[in-house]
Amino acid sequence: MSFAFGKRKIFDDIKFQINVGEKVGIIGENGSGKTTFINLILGLLTPEKGEIVFNNQKDMKLINYDLSKIISYVPQNCFLINGTIRENIVFFEEFNEKKYFNILEKLELNSLFNKFDNFDKKKVHSTNLNLSGGELQKIGLARALYRNPSILILDESFNQIDKVAEENLLNQIFNYSKEMIIIYIFHKQKNNLFDKLYKVENNNINLFIK
């Protein structure tokens, strides 16, 4: 697969494969092409050469799927709708009490019941002054997991929590679904939590640690 912005080559005939259930880390310096790589997977950009296929079916390009149903993307900054915390997590999906409280427990969001009375029915708003950065990021992650995606993309999604909490949270996510592909984007090399670690540099994406 190749991609360029005008005459600026970003990726030059790269090849990669992510299997069902794999947990993949992607590292690279600012401007190396990590965001472009994710935007290609999300279908926001189209390769100028080659294609991205899903589920190993070469006759089915990823772009032909309803990407909103198979991919959940969690950015650094979670946006909130004006509504309850429950509404921000369920986010127009059908409410399933068992799944909802299981996710709260996995992400340790149920600790907020001690912080707020009637926590999950508490109103929040876009200025989110009543929640910490880490709590906001967990709400964004809970929203993503609630949709049961086939692919979960985490774009430096835990930069508001400390390293130990981040590793614990990653392990909880990795154990949440054995079949979900997880792609985690970050700047610096982390410990060996991942099945594969790729490094984006020099117009390529290379397997860094296997």
Write out pLDDT tens, residues 78-120. 888 888 888 889 988 999 999 998 998 888 887 776 666 666 6
Q: For the chain, how many helices (H) and strands (E)?
A: 6, 10
- Indicate the range of 4-8, 31-35, 88-92, 206-210 predicted with least confidence: 206-210
Instruction: Give pTM, 2 decimals.
Output: 0.86
| Range list of β-strands (E), the chain | 3-5, 8-11, 23-27, 71-74, 83-84, 123-124, 151-155, 181-186, 196-201, 204-209
Rounded to the nearest 5°, which phi and psi values hold at 167? -65, -40
How far is Cα 94 from Cα 100, in angstroms, rounded to an integer? 10
Query: What is the full DSSP assignment across 165-188?
Result: HHHHHHHHHHHH-SS-EEEEEESS
How far is Cα 101 from Cα 51, in angstroms, rounded to an integer? 39
Domains and CATH numbers, the chain: 3-209 (3.40.50.300)
Q: How far is CA 146 from CA 32, 97, 128, in A?
A: 31, 11, 21
What are residue 18's DSSP bridge partners? none
151: helix, strand or coil:
strand
- Give the pLDDT confidence of 180-208 residue by residue, as tens digits: 999 999 876 665 788 999 989 888 888 87
